[in-house]
Amino acid sequence: MDVSQYLEIFIEESKEHLQSLNDQLLILEREPENEDTINEIFRAAHSLKGMAGTMGYKRMQRLTHDMENVFSEVRNGKMKVSSELVDVLFKGLDALEEYLANIQADANEGTNDNEDIINSLNNILNKGLGKAPVESSADQKPTVLSATSIDTDKMKFKHIKIEDHEKKAIVKAGTLGMNVIGLTIYIHEYCVLKAARAYMVNRNLEEHGEIIKLFPTAQDIEDEKFDFHYSVFMVSKETPEKLAEVAESISEIKEVVADYISLSNEDVTNYTNVLKREETALASGAARTSETKNGSVQKKANKPVTNRSVRVDIEKLDVLMNLVSELIIAKNGLVSISSTSQVALEHGFSEQIEYLERVTTNLHESVMRVRMVPIESVVNRFPRMIRDLSKKLNKEMELYMSGEETELDRTVIDEIGDPLMHLLRNAADHGLESNEERQRLGKNSVGSIFLEAYQEGNNVVIEVRDDGSGINVDKIKKKALERGTITEDQAARMSDKEIIDLLFQPSFSTAEQVTDVSGRGVGLDVVKTKIETLGGEIEARSVLGEGSTFIIRLPLTLAIIQALMVMIGREKFALPLGSIQTVENIPNTDVRMIQGKEVINLRGSVIPIIRLGEVLDCVKAENEPEEFVIVVVKKGERLAGLVVDELIGQQEIVIKSIGKYIKAHKIVSGSTILGNGEVSLILDVNSLI
């Protein structure tokens, strides 16, 4: 049975089980007596073990089997959950995630047996059950029936008819010095998937030889048309005892009986002569096969493609189907009116175009909903991370999350995890004080970190805040002066917010020492770059002594957006509508110079202006107009006026990447194809301000 076709499903479902284990272990650490949690962990471990075994990942199967053993005893009330057990289980979870990462990379689980984790689990199990600890899991061997002590009544293969071609294979094995061994495998009656267990046993046995017969047939076994036992004949260099041990290493195998298989002297003589007559033909055939193999191109195993799937509610697919049906109706309507009179054609055509426009708008919205994924798929790994940081930093802290059901486009979801992780680690390390310091300040000794997500218009807002010491503006200013990032004059004029924004500059860190948590000068600049790449923005707010808040605003989707189309010189450009505050006509006499930069006074606010024609090196008009068309855009709290030559209008555009064709300048976020076939560049407002 070829299981490679199930690899992608295995990876996706394993991720779900591992996340479930992670969540439930965090609950168990707080509530060691929670029976529902214990049962859920047992079920997840059992499912993961079965899946890994079916796919042939023995190390993963073995580790989950030992984790399941522990929880089986906990569930039966024979041992209690301890902090030592939880720590070892988390290590086991990390090892399973490493196995899965290796499988995702090249369909191979790797070579790490994680003996230390398995030994720790077995020692905890034996200690909990009042047994002596084990020195090494390598010393633990399953009980194997000796071939000399087999109950012959259980040797079902004694009565199996051996066909002529099988007798020939047995004789040939003898001439090559190989053993022919028969095994009868008994599966526990409570096994749910006995065909899967049989497949796992056979796969293990095939590593030690060649199976020449199955009884019942392989097809009957795969279809579960057998009782809880079946027989195997195989050619191997191993002994019956060794092969029985291999078969019994699979879980839910009750017993294995094995013995050597031999033929009568008459059969041996007859089939030896047959083999001699075929020897020449076989040799020439083998030579031809060798030539074919040597001349053929060996195909490499394809790397599994993952993280490219989205689970969709069937109701959303029904909506899509209905909309596609309406598109077909609209198409048929256009076809039918094409053969009518000119007057009817003009009237009918405009109606069909309006109808088509409504359908495509609804179709766009429906497809966007299909692409949306709850942000929960990203943030559900953070409670475990905060738990580990709490132990590493020796700080008591709690993570409170809300809005996990908030949805984002899958393309955004895949990229937002690392920036959020950086912010949470900063909050834990830089933001929260030590427990002693918090008590001295009259705060709760347990620090709080909050992760909140919510939708705001066409954006999703994610806030990461803490109730720690806040950002020390004076400390940032001092560090910036020491590095020469700013001058004394600039420092004197800068507001607190402008000073806090210095934290987003590359390699800027106020940490006194470098640790594996923070202080390497990377983090916030990486966060800012990644978020702006996603078309979003980030700002920081802080109150000294009360805490800090980092606010991320992200677009709902990166695929289709509303944009304002403008002319700059002779070229058309698109400005994302979400960043635009207003459009103004400003007389050129209102432009003033402050510190060498052009600004305008717009209803009491001084706004710098950016001449896009100069930035983009577009063809200038011969005579400067008496009025400028200025598009006022906003990034965080900052405003800027973009000077354009002409407004074309608002339009829904499809974003196309241009990374494969040219190295895009940072002010160009992509391109779009207009209705007349022209290509227009989309400008990144964040990089312009």
Provide the annotated active-site residues: 46, 68, 426
Cβ-proximal residues to 262 (8 Å cutoff; 6+ apart), any chain = 180
Cis amide leading into 240 (omega within 30): no
CA distance 453 to 630: 33
The residue with tokens 């905060």 is 386
At 604, list the tokens: 């009491």
Cβ contact 481:508 at 8 Å: no
Cβ contact 59:112 at 8 Å: yes
Helical H runs in 249-381? Answer: 265-295, 314-337, 342-371, 376-379
DSSP SS3 for 142: coil
CA distance 191 to 506: 58
The residue with tokens 């996603």 is 534
Buried (b) or exposed (e) across 87-118, using 16+ Cβ within 10 A? ebbbebbbbbbebbebbbeebebbeeebeebb
Q: What residues does 215 pair with on adjacent strands?
A: 231
CA distance 338 to 344: 9
What is the three-state SS of 435-492? HHHHHHCCCCCCEEEEEEEEEECCEEEEEEEECCCCCCHHHHHHHHHHHCCCCHHHHH
Nearest-Å Rg of the Cα atoms of the chain is 35
CA distance 475 to 482: 11
The amino acid at residue 525 is D
Cβ-proximal residues to 605 (8 Å cutoff; 6+ apart), any chain = 639
Cβ-proximal residues to 59 (8 Å cutoff; 6+ apart), any chain = 99, 109, 110, 112, 113, 114
At 93, list the tokens: 């979870």
Cβ contact 454:461 at 8 Å: yes
Q: In terms of residues, how long is the chain?
A: 689
* Number of Cβ atoms within 10 Å of the Cβ of 496: 15
CA distance 591 to 526: 36
Q: How far is CA 41 from the centre of its chain?
A: 21
DSSP SS3 for 348: helix
CA distance 121 to 656: 52
The amino acid at residue 435 is N
Q: At what angle do helices 83-106 and 115-128 cross, to 10 degrees?
A: 150
Cβ-proximal residues to 458 (8 Å cutoff; 6+ apart), any chain = 555, 556, 562, 578
- Phi then psi for 438, rounded to 5 degrees? -65, -40
